[in-house]
Chain A
Amino acid sequence: MNLFVVAAIAILISMALAVARTIAGPTIFDRILAVNMFGTKSVLLIAVFSFLSGRPDVLDIALLYSLLNWLGVLAALRMAERKEFYSTGADDSDSNGKSP
């Protein structure tokens, strides 16, 4: 039990560091990386908390969070790189948006 408490506090501290980078980060990529790291830490925090409170079935939520975190970061990176979601090329045939 004590081990989980120490792990939770350590994760909270690293979350605080990620928040600090999110606030300070001069470029968009610093912020995206910090947001991604924060999401990963929240997944870890949920996992630790589920064992701490004796409900390991909450681990499903941690899995869902990791999936969603990946999705949002991927979307933001794609937008930061291409400046748009709907490229004009043919490599993008599954996006249901406007295309020429």
Chain B
Amino acid sequence: MIDIIIDMVLLLFLTVMAFTILRLRDLLSMAMILGLYSLLMAGLFMVMDAPDVAFTEAAVGSGVATILMLVTLTLTRIRYEKKAAGLQWRPLIIVLLTGAALLYGIHDIPPVGDIEAPAQQHVADRYIAEARNETGVPNMVTAVLASYRGFDTLGEVVVIFTAGIGVMLLLGNGTRRYRG
């Protein structure tokens, strides 16, 4: 019961923050609230019992992305978003169509924890039955991410590492000498 209340309130906060970001013009405030949005998203992942996804979302979305946006703001020296003249019809139509498509897609989604769902039919039984014996990891999501899909996670780490190197090369300009 309290799970549902927490979920609903957190989702309500997400909506409120999205509209706040839309309303604001100060880019620094927008970056801060965007980091908060990501933190809330990570909290929702945690309520869904996926601590690893929550870790990743918090570290990337709330930590790195916020800092990256602030650094970009300082480099571009733009402080305020330009106010658009009147209502923007084309983006509104695109957003409404996308939202309608997503709402339409909700109808087919089985409820959370449904054992008849297609996603639970393939290998989930083996994970549930054997994960603790085969990997020794107490959390099932962690076992799947870190052990069964170890190569996938390794690929993600390589991608993030490459992105970090690219950003450092771009921002560093190659002019600064390393002072050990």
Contact = CB atoms under 8 A, between A and B. Distances in A.
Given A49-B46, A65-B42, A35 B176 contact: no
Interface residues of B, number: 47
Main DSSP-derived SS at the A contact region: helix
A16 B31 CA distance: 20
A38 to B, nearest CB: 6
Residue from the set B16, B28, B36, B172 with the largest chain A CB neighbour count within 10 Å: B36
B33 interface: yes
Given A35-B36, A93-B179, A83 B74 contact: yes
Contacts, number: 119
Interface string A73-96: 001100110011110000001001
B6 A98 contact: no
B28 A76 contact: yes
B32 A32 contact: yes
Main DSSP-derived SS at the B contact region: helix
Contacts of B46: 46, 49, 58, 61
Contacts of B67: 71-72, 75
Interface residues of A, number: 45
B71 interface: yes
A52 to B, nearest CB: 6
Interface of A: 5, 8-9, 12, 15-16, 19, 22-23, 28, 31-32, 35, 38-39, 42, 45-46, 49, 52-53, 55, 57-58, 60-61, 64-65, 68-69, 71-72, 75-76, 79-80, 83-86, 93, 96-99
9 contacts: A5-B2, A9-B2, A16-B9, A19-B17, A35-B35, A42-B39, A57-B139, A72-B35, A75-B66
